[in-house]
Amino acid sequence: MSHHDVVVLGGGYAGLPAALRLARQVRDDEVSVTLVTAFPDFVERPRLHQVAAGQRIRAVPVADYLDGTAVRPVIGAATAIDPAARTVTVGRDGTRRFIHYDTLVYALGSNVDLAAVPGAARHAYGLVGTDAAAEVRTRLTALAGRTGRVAVCGGGMTGIEIAAEVAESQPGLDVVLVSGSAPGGWLSGRAQRHLARTFAALGVTVRTGRRVREVEHGALVLDQGDRVGFDLCLWAGGFRVPELARAGGLAVNDEGRALVDGTLRSVSHPDVYVIGDAAAVPGSWGAQLAMGCRTGGFTAPAAADAIAARLTGREAAPFHYRYFHECISLGRRHGLVQFLDADGSPKDRILTGRAAIAYKNATLNGAKLFFRHPGPVTARRRRVTASAAPARRLS
């Protein structure tokens, strides 16, 4: 029987545990699992605002999580997919290589959309990775000790967290959050009132009802022509997914998220599974899950189990999910946990203060513990069935 090559693109909250969990369920003499990641260290995205504010976050090399497993790491950025040839192109240090797959797991996630508004990419900073967060930290350090204004664009979780973190760590700076709608407007009334009180205590000025039309050097131009000056602009005005899925011919929605069935399999390419933010996962919650590690990470074990089942001649179980909570840090002394109904609507129940910070830390640390023990608890390495043999490779 031919060897079956599984390639996982993306070493984040979805891709890394998917690769580890799948490798525990198949024989490595029959199935190879390769993890392609652009970063040698695992990027803890929910903590990037802490890095930007000057806090030290322990970096864990991806190799540490893979040590002792059959998963083979490839460090490099995926730049193209060729579904006809079943190859992905990976670039690193000016060179590129082609990696063949029989099954592909696409887990490239999403990132801050700096292309949404003219000038944002040139004059604003987005927390798109550890290097960007470190650059923001350098800029904030340079501003410390003198009068300056930091403008944060976006009233979602990223904007809320970075505004609070900067205001707490640099109390001498003027922090203004600009948002088209009320920050945290999806939260319960009780949570929104707590957020408003915390912002007031931290000295964060909130300007709502205005959208940023353009970012110029040193100023935001709002939709009615008024301007907000800044010494540093932090952009958190929405997220977008990479274009590789669309460019590779996978069926995607208007946002570029790949369309998948109930087992997270591409509706257009049955040898491709899409997980995390890059997937438009349908269910009782609607046409797609909200973006974020709180949802994307849950798709990883489902996809790994579905692939293992199909390779070993069993029926793949459908993906199930329910919303639980949203964990929002508001600096190091304040936090907010919004508990959710199964469909994602907010309950009136919240957790605040240091207890909320502890709750969020436990949640994030639990994710890293899951990487160490991805399950299944009673993992069994089954043999690949003849029906799962890869199709003839195209030349």
Strand pairing report for 4-9 and 103-106:
parallel
Percent of the chain with pLDDT over 70: 97
Q: What is the pLDDT of residues 57-81, one digit of tens each?
A: 888 999 999 999 999 999 999 999 9
Verify that 76 and 46 share a domain, yes or no.
yes
- What pLDDT sits at residue 395? 31
Report H helices in the chain.
15-23, 48-52, 62-66, 120-123, 130-143, 157-169, 189-202, 244-247, 293-311, 353-372
Number of structural domains (the chain) is 2
**Average pLDDT score over the chain:** 94
Q: What is the pLDDT of residues 90-109, one digit of tens each?
A: 999 999 999 999 999 999 99
- What pLDDT sits at residue 386? 67
> Could you identify the residue written with the tokens 């269910």?
283
Q: With respect to residue 97, please indicate whether it lies within any of the assigned structural domains.
A: yes
- Mean local confidence (pLDDT), 13-42: 96
For the domain that residue 279 is a member of, what is the CATH number? 3.50.50.60
On the question of pLDDT at 380 being above 50, the answer is yes
- What pLDDT sits at residue 146? 79
Domain edge (last residue) among 321, 342, 372: 321
Burial class from Cβ neighbours inside 10 Å (0-12, 13-18, 19+) for residue 291 reads: buried
Neighbours of 257 (CB within 10 A): 24
Residue with the larger pLDDT of the pair 93 and 391? 93
Verify that 230 and 297 share a domain, yes or no.
no
Between the CA of residue 378 and those of 24, 127, 374, what are the distances in Å? 10, 39, 11
On the question of pLDDT at 391 being above 90, the answer is no
Q: Counting runs of H as helices and runs of E as strands, what totals does the chain give?
A: 10, 24
Between the CA of residue 165 and those of 14, 114, 152, 366, what are the distances in Å? 26, 21, 11, 23
On the question of pLDDT at 144 being above 90, the answer is no
Which two structure tokens, joined as six digits, stand for 370?
């899951």
- What pLDDT sits at residue 1? 53
Report the amino acid identity of residue 296: G
Q: With respect to residue 147, please indicate whether it lies within any of the assigned structural domains.
A: yes
CA 125 from centroid of its chain's CA atoms: 18
Verify that 190 and 279 share a domain, yes or no.
no
- What pLDDT sits at residue 224? 87
Q: What is the pLDDT of residues 310-356, one digit of tens each?
A: 999 999 999 999 999 999 999 999 999 999 999 999 999 999 999 99
Verify that 118 and 266 share a domain, yes or no.
no
Domain edge (last residue) among 267, 295, 321: 321
Q: With respect to residue 79, please indicate whether it lies within any of the assigned structural domains.
A: yes
Q: Give the total residue count for the chain.
A: 395
Verify that 94 and 135 share a domain, yes or no.
no
Verify that 188 and 78 share a domain, yes or no.
no
Between the CA of residue 225 and those of 24, 177, 228, 237, 316, what are the distances in Å? 58, 17, 10, 19, 55
- What pLDDT sits at residue 394? 37
Verify that 16 and 67 share a domain, yes or no.
yes
Percent of the chain with pLDDT over 90: 86
Verify that 125 and 225 share a domain, yes or no.
yes
Verify that 245 and 298 share a domain, yes or no.
yes
- What pLDDT sits at residue 392? 45
Whether the Cβ atoms of residue 18 and residue 275 lie closer than 8 Å to each other: yes
On the question of pLDDT at 393 being above 50, the answer is no
Burial class from Cβ neighbours inside 10 Å (0-12, 13-18, 19+) for residue 261 reads: middle
- Mean local confidence (pLDDT), 163-190: 96
Q: With respect to residue 385, please indicate whether it lies within any of the assigned structural domains.
A: no
Burial class from Cβ neighbours inside 10 Å (0-12, 13-18, 19+) for residue 303 reads: buried
On the question of pLDDT at 2 being above 80, the answer is no
Q: With respect to residue 74, please indicate whether it lies within any of the assigned structural domains.
A: yes
On the question of pLDDT at 294 being above 90, the answer is no
- What pLDDT sits at residue 359? 96
Verify that 96 and 155 share a domain, yes or no.
no
Q: With respect to residue 329, please indicate whether it lies within any of the assigned structural domains.
A: no
Domain range spanning residue 155? 113-237
Domain edge (last residue) among 280, 303, 321: 321
Which two structure tokens, joined as six digits, stand for 51?
């890095």
Q: With respect to residue 369, please indicate whether it lies within any of the assigned structural domains.
A: no
On the question of pLDDT at 145 being above 80, the answer is no
Confidence tier at 381 by pLDDT (50, 70, 90): confident
Verify that 211 and 251 share a domain, yes or no.
no
Whether the Cβ atoms of residue 43 and residue 129 lie closer than 8 Å to each other: yes
Q: With respect to residue 374, please indicate whether it lies within any of the assigned structural domains.
A: no
**Residue 100: strand pairing partners:** 87
> Could you identify the residue written with the tokens 């919650």?
285
- Mean local confidence (pLDDT), 51-61: 92
On the question of pLDDT at 390 being above 80, the answer is no
Q: What is the pLDDT of residues 256-266, one digit of tens each?
A: 999 999 999 99
Verify that 29 and 178 share a domain, yes or no.
no
